[in-house]
């Protein structure tokens, strides 16, 4: 249900861009991202404090708070958002006729394809082996559905989810839109490698305190909020998307590469690379959304923005499964190898190694202390070995993600020049604009 409601987010990106001059779109998106960064900063701290106060039920209170905020937002939108009425070619149609005009076959193929593909990717390596029938069948059928979706959108319709006008306009139009969709796919890969696995890295290597964990995530979001203002201003001031976008991807990639080098004693380095990645994150989302909205026809601004954010969502879901599989495969292999080798050298009896490894992998401190032959030296050696195993396991996630960042940096140079599109035109003014009529000293034009 949350995901269904979250799908309305592209509309929030559209409204500021429509009501302001086209030149200011990067800055408008920057303002949106600052608000998002403030939420991303405050939410982990709130839930961390609530969880620390009550580890069993504290997190529930956060979701009650979140429900209240979302409910208040819905009420404010319902009563406070009153845009001027727009007239379209579909005003005369009934609700049923309007629904019939939607790209229902495209919706079905895309939904079925992504659902089956992502289900297969999440099942593989967990409940089932990658070679098992449930995994292979869902992945293959999902890919076939997505392939059919592409053929259908290309050959069977011109006004579907991927409206053909989105790809018109040459280098500064359709080509730029297509590249932006690919770039935000990559941004999703990079972002979710951080947002999902940086907390895991922090928990296993540096702290298990919920509030401190939230605090260690702050450099990314604070740097992102500051950086997004800088990128938005530079893009608006110089009417350029390509250069600040390249710089942002460069910083984001550098931060991801840095996180791939983290060891258990590199707590300060982890914070620094988190901030560096955040500084880069401030650029792609705002500039790619602005570029998409500048390179596509105004009447398709919502469709173009939705297609872009959909690409990001698909990337995050697919690569979360990929990252999780890589991490799980490594940690299941590394913890027994690293820990058993170290504790045997520290003097643990061979017969106790299996129980010790199981207990330390599960994080069961009471079981660890009850293993025969364990002393403080063995516990310390085993704990350090487990941390190193986790560090080397998480490293695989960032090693997978980093090359995509390099690819994004290269793709930035193929974007079209949007300088001419960044003018003072307002596509959807909030009030009707009329020319001034002077009553004195004015000659009337002859008809």
How many CB atoms neighbour CB 220 within 10 A?
27
Tracing tokens 């005369």 back to the chain, one arrives at 92
Average pLDDT over residues 130-152: 93
CATH of domain 8-57+97-103+157-336+386-414: 1.20.1250.20
What DSSP string runs through 362-401?
HT-HHHHHTSTT--HHHHHHHHHHHHHHHHHHHHHHHHHH
Q: Would you state the pLDDT for residue 432?
A: 60
pTM of the model as a whole: 0.88
Q: Would you state the pLDDT for residue 178?
A: 94
pLDDT of 125 higher than 80? no
Task: Give dist(CA 16, CA 420) in Å, integer.
Answer: 20
pLDDT of 137 higher than 90? yes
Longest Cα separation, the chain: 106
Distance from the Cα of residue 178 to its chain's centroid: 18
Sorted by where each begins, the domain ranges of the chain are: 8-57+97-103+157-336+386-414
Say what angle helices 301-346 and 284-295 make with each other, to 10 degrees: 160
Residue 82, C-beta contacts closer than 8 angstroms, at least 6 positions apart: none
Over residues 163-221, the pLDDT tens digits come to 898 898 888 888 999 999 999 999 999 999 999 999 999 999 999 888 899 999 999 99
* Angle at alpha carbon of residue 295, lines to 159 and 404, rounded to 5°: 100
Tell me the pLDDT band of 281, cut-offs 50, 70 and 90: very high
- Helix/strand/coil for 124: strand
Give the total residue count for the chain.
447
pLDDT of 443 higher than 70? no
């Amino acid at each position: 249900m949350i995901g269904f409601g979250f799908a309305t987010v592209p509309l929030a990106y559209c409204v500021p861009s429509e009501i302001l001059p086209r030149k200011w779109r990067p800055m408008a998106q920057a303002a949106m991202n600052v608000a998002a960064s403030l939420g991303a900063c405050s939410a982990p701290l709130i839930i961390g404090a609530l969880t620390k106060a009550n580890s069993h039920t504290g997190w529930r209170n956060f979701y009650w708070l979140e429900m209240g905020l979302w409910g208040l937002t819905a009420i404010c939108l319902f009563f406070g958002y009153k845009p001027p009425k727009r007239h379209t070619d579909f005003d005369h149609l009934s609700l049923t006729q309007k629904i019939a005009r939607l790209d229902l076959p495209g919706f079905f193929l895309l939904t079925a394809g992504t659902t089956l593909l992502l289900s297969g990717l999440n099942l593989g390596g967990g409940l089932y082996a990658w070679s098992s029938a449930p995994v292979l069948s869902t992945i293959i059928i999902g890919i076939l559905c997505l392939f059919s979706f592409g053929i259908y959108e290309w050959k069977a319709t011109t006004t579907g989810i991927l409206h053909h006008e989105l790809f018109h306009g040459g280098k500064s139009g359709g080509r730029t839109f297509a590249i932006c969709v690919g770039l935000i796919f990559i941004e999703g890969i990079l972002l979710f490698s951080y947002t999902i696995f940086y907390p895991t890295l922090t928990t296993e290597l540096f702290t298990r305190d919920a509030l401190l964990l939230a605090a260690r995530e702050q450099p990314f979001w604070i740097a992102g909020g500051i950086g997004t203002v800088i990128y938005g201003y530079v893009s608006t001031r110089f009417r350029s998307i390509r250069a600040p976008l390249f710089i942002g991807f460069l910083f984001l990639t550098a931060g991801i590469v840095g996180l791939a080098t983290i060891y258990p004693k590199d707590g300060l380095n982890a914070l620094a690379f988190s901030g560096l990645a955040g500084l880069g994150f401030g650029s792609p989302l705002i500039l790619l959304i602005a570029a998409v909205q500048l390179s596509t026809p105004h009447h398709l601004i919502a469709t173009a923005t939705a297609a872009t954010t959909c690409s990001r969502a698909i990337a995050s879901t697919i690569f979360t499964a990929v990252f999780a599989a890589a991490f799980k495969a490594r940690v299941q292999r590394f913890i027994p190898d690293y820990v058993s080798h170290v504790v045997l050298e520290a003097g643990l009896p061979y017969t106790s190694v299996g129980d010790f490894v199981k207990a330390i992998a599960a994080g069961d401190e009471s079981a660890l202390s009850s293993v025969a032959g364990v002393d403080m030296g063995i516990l310390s050696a085993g704990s350090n070995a487990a941390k190193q195993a986790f560090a080397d396991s998480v490293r695989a996630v960032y090693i997978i993600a980093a090359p995509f960042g390099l690819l994004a940096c290269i793709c930035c140079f193929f974007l079209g020049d949007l300088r001419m599109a960044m003018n003072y035109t307002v596509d959807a003014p909030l009030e009707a604009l009329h020319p001034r009529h002077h009553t004195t000293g004015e000659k009337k034009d002859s008809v």
